[in-house]
Amino acid sequence: MAYRPMFVAKWLARALLLTALGYVTCGLFYHMDSTPAVHVRQQDHTTQPKVGQPLLKAQPAAPPAVDEWRPAESDVNNMNDDLKQVTEDKRLVKEHGEQIEEGNEGFRESMNREQEAEIREQKAPNLNSQSQEVASMDLPKAEADKALAEICRKMNLTLDNPENGIGEFSRPAGLNRDNLTASEKKEWDSGYETSGYNVYVSNRIALRRRVEDTREQMCHNITYPTNLPQASVIIPYHKEALSTLLRTVFSTIERAPAHLLKEVILVDDFSESEELLGPLDEFVAYLPKVQVLRNTKREGLMRTRMRGVMAATAPVIVIKDAHTEYLPGWLEPLLAVVAANRTAIAQSNVNFMDINQFKIYVNVPTNIHTFDFKLNQQISPLPDKEVKKRKSPIDPVL
């Protein structure tokens, strides 16, 4: 005989309901019967002893025997589970509260950044508040150089030095902290904290200093195609020293063919230094092909780079650090590699600059940049199999 599902379910529900009512009724009777009698009974002291009978001290009545109740093992386990659940709920509530507090803190930081952005705009009134861009004027070189020299004079910077000047031809500056005054020592030390290198020395090196041409002699004799594509140079920066940033810009512009360099885009990742606002804009106004983009909040290196990439108009994009100085002819080899293979990513051989005296050290041409498992950049020798592939010491490593 087959039972209908609804019929079986109905009888199961009734059985469960009766069982529950039975448990409730038994529990009530047990509670009423197990109430200690000592709470409702009183010792009777009204009985008087007979005459001549010694007065006996009344003895308290012994409480009635009550069966000792012990919880079942299943009940203990259920209570332990409930306690664990309560503990977990408290932890989640606390964690959620901390997340809310972190969100509030992030909101406060965002409000502070917006207030700082308003202050920055007030300090740089010539800055376009909508696009956050500053572009250069197209002036004759002689007129622009005269204006740049005047700006340097106002800011205690040097545009050009004689050949024996501080740091010329990649030489170390040769300045000694022990020979400085107390205020100069303070400026010497503070630069390391803000920018990570000696800003005091950087400010005393010419913005257009000469560098030693350390290229292989064969590089001077190469003839590159005349139809190389143009390049947009992206330079992201944050808390960079103005003098170091400007040397990067000058070496980028003046040591690359004008017809191959279309633009130089500086992208400021919400720097706090005032010299990177109005003073930088004064320089940019007289630097050809240079423009400045400014983030209205801190975005980080990658998003800052990508903002420059999105603004670029040339077919080839070159991304540079803001504390570099380039040799003559730095751009043509990169464009030649990309022109031969548009999917290639080219990188030049990078020399090293001392952060204390700004001396430039020559890197071995057969060294390459690699990364370890912690993504730390390091210098490694070129593998033998790659060395054998090269027909000359100036061939690119592909």
Cross-strand pairs, 291: 135, 265
Q: Residue type at 219?
A: C
Instruction: Judge if 240 and 379 occupy the same domain.
Output: no
Instruction: Judge if 376 and 359 occupy the same domain.
Output: no
Q: Does residue 89 fall inside a structural domain?
A: no
CA torsion 71→72→75→79, rounded to 10°?
50
Instruction: Judge if 208 and 137 occupy the same domain.
Output: yes
Look at residue 129 in the predicted model and tell me its pLDDT: 34
Q: Does residue 69 fall inside a structural domain?
A: no
Whose structure tokens read 């009974």? 41
What does the alpha-carbon distance between residue 356 and residue 205 come to, in Å, rounded to a whole number? 12
Instruction: Judge if 192 and 270 occupy the same domain.
Output: yes
Instruction: Judge if 305 and 394 occupy the same domain.
Output: no
Q: Does residue 256 fall inside a structural domain?
A: yes
What does the alpha-carbon distance between residue 325 and residue 207 come to, in Å, rounded to a whole number? 10
How far apart, in Å, are the Cα atoms of 20 and each of 10, 16, 132?
Answer: 16, 6, 73
CB neighbours of 51 closer than 8 A, spacing ≥ 6? none
CB 336 within 8 A of CB 224: yes
SS3 assignment, position 66? coil
Segments forming the whole domain that contains residue 381: 365-398
CB 235 within 8 A of CB 339: no
Q: Cβ of 254: how many Cβ atoms within 10 Å?
A: 13
SS3 assignment, position 375? coil
SS3 assignment, position 325? coil
Among 330, 307, 313, 314, smallest CA distance to 237 is for 307
SS3 assignment, position 304? helix
Instruction: Judge if 345 and 370 occupy the same domain.
Output: no
Instruction: Judge if 274 and 393 occupy the same domain.
Output: no
CB 311 within 8 A of CB 293: yes
Token pair belonging to 199: 């800003």
Q: Does residue 351 fall inside a structural domain?
A: yes
In the DSSP assignment, the letter for residue 197 is S
Look at residue 371 in the predicted model and tell me its pLDDT: 85
What does the alpha-carbon distance between residue 281 and residue 271 come to, in Å, rounded to a whole number? 14
Q: Does residue 88 fall inside a structural domain?
A: no
Instruction: Judge if 199 and 293 occupy the same domain.
Output: yes
Backbone region of residue 162 per phi and psi (left: phi > 0; alpha: psi in -120 to 50; beta: other values)? beta
Number of structural domains in the chain: 2
Q: Does residue 53 fall inside a structural domain?
A: no
What does the alpha-carbon distance between residue 325 and residue 290 come to, in Å, rounded to a whole number? 16
Look at residue 15 in the predicted model and tell me its pLDDT: 67
Print pLDDT tens along the chain (398 aa). Answer: 444 556 556 666 676 666 666 654 555 444 444 444 333 334 444 444 444 444 444 455 555 554 444 555 665 566 666 667 667 766 766 666 555 555 555 555 555 555 555 555 554 444 433 345 666 667 788 999 999 999 999 999 999 999 999 999 999 999 999 999 999 999 999 999 999 999 999 999 999 999 999 998 999 999 999 899 999 999 999 999 999 999 999 999 999 999 999 999 999 999 999 999 999 999 999 999 999 999 999 999 999 999 999 999 999 999 999 999 999 999 999 999 999 999 999 988 888 899 999 999 988 877 888 888 988 888 888 888 888 888 888 888 87
Compute the residue count for the chain: 398
Instruction: Judge if 357 and 369 occupy the same domain.
Output: no
CB neighbours of 366 closer than 8 A, spacing ≥ 6? 381, 382, 387, 393
Residue 134 backbone phi and psi in degrees, to 5: -135, 125
User: DSSP letter string over 248-264?
Assistant: HHHHHHHTS-TTTEEEE
What does the alpha-carbon distance between residue 291 and residue 131 come to, in Å, rounded to a whole number? 12
What does the alpha-carbon distance between residue 300 and residue 236 come to, in Å, rounded to a whole number? 10
Among 260, 283, 258, 266, smallest CA distance to 336 is for 260
Class of residue 173 by CB neighbours under 10 A (exposed 0-12, middle 13-18, buried 19+): buried
Q: Does residue 115 fall inside a structural domain?
A: no
CB 363 within 8 A of CB 352: yes
Q: Does residue 5 fall inside a structural domain?
A: no
